[in-house]
Amino acid sequence: GENVEQHPSTLSVQEGDSAVIKCTYSDSASNYFPWYKQELGKRPQLIIDIRSNVGEKKDQRIAVTLNKTAKHFSLHITETQPEDSAVYFCAAAGRLYFGRGTQLTVWP
Amino acid sequence: GAGVSQSPSNKVTEKGKDVELRCDPISGHTALYWYRQSLGQGLEFLIYFQGNSAPDKSGLPSDRFSAERTGGSVSTLTIQRTQQEDSAVYLCASSLLPLPLHFGNGTRLTVT
């Protein structure tokens, strides 16, 4: 099956700085790559996704880039705010396999 | 509209007992997933149902775990002879393919 690696496991940034989380996947047939945000004690919520026919997608302060050749994709958060603090999960599909998550902490 | 509903929200059981966790997916969603999330850990895939196809059970950690989906809607995850290491949050998600997933709030299982 698919193997999704996510780095870093923890990330601390100052408010206003950018945060980047990277994921690699193993199955070249994977064609859908979502990112989920999970606040403490809550369910994971989809924040952005990208399909394999697109290299980059942006939604306000959040962007995702995909490199199919290298089989990696990244989440970029600009102008981080304390409310961005959460655990972020990447995933790759067919069947969704998740990375282990990144605990992002944004210090005011 | 209504989202994915899971019950119970919390379950405390004694080691060795069987438990059943229920998931009501969003109406019309053909795909249903179960994931397990241990404290501070990621989302571990357990099982995947898609329409009338045979489920993908490749993530079930042992034969004590089983799941079924009746009528293509409600799903039940059963854990027999629970062990302390089964303690986790069990998350159900559904989707109308191709994606994305909509998660329930999860069932927090504690085995004492």
- B61 pLDDT above the threshold of 90: yes
Q: Looking at residue B107, what is its pLDDT?
A: 92
Tell me, what DSSP letter sits at residue B26?
A: P
Question: Is the confidence at residue B72, as pLDDT, over 90?
Answer: no
Task: Output the pLDDT for position B2.
Answer: 79
Q: Alpha-carbon distance B84 to B69, whole Å?
A: 26
Whether the pLDDT of residue A2 is over 80: the answer is: no
What is the rounded radius of gyration, in angstroms, for the C-alpha atoms of chain B? 13
Q: Once rounded to an integer, what is the mean pLDDT over residues A13-39?
A: 93
pLDDT of residue B1: 54
Q: How many CB atoms lie within 10 A of CB A63?
A: 17
Question: How confident is the model over A75-99, as pLDDT tens digits?
Answer: 999 999 999 999 999 998 766 778 8
Q: Which residues pair with A86 in a beta bridge?
A: A104
CB proximity A53 to B under 8 Å: no
Tell me: pLDDT of A1 over 70.
Answer: no
- Tens of pLDDT, residues A39-83: 988 889 999 999 888 899 999 999 999 999 999 999 999 999 999
Identify the residue among A43, A45, A87 best suited for mutation to test binding to B, counting B beta carbons within 10 A and taking the highest: A43
pLDDT digit string, tens, across residues B13-55 = 999 999 999 999 999 898 999 999 988 788 898 999 988 888 9
Per-residue pLDDT at A5: 92
Inter-chain residue contact B105 with A44, CB threshold 8 Å: no
Distance from CA of A29 to the nearest CA of B (A): 14
A42 chain-B contacts, CB cut-off 8 A = 105
Least confident of A2-6, A94-98, B80-84: A94-98
State the count of interchain CB pairs (< 8 A) between A and B. Answer: 45
Alpha-carbon distance B104 to nearest alpha carbon in chain A (angstroms)? 7
pLDDT at residue A18 greater than cutoff 70: yes
Largest CA distance in chain B: 39
* Rounded distance between C-alpha atoms, residue A22 and residue B22, angstroms: 34
Tell me the pLDDT band of B76, cut-offs 50, 70 and 90: very high
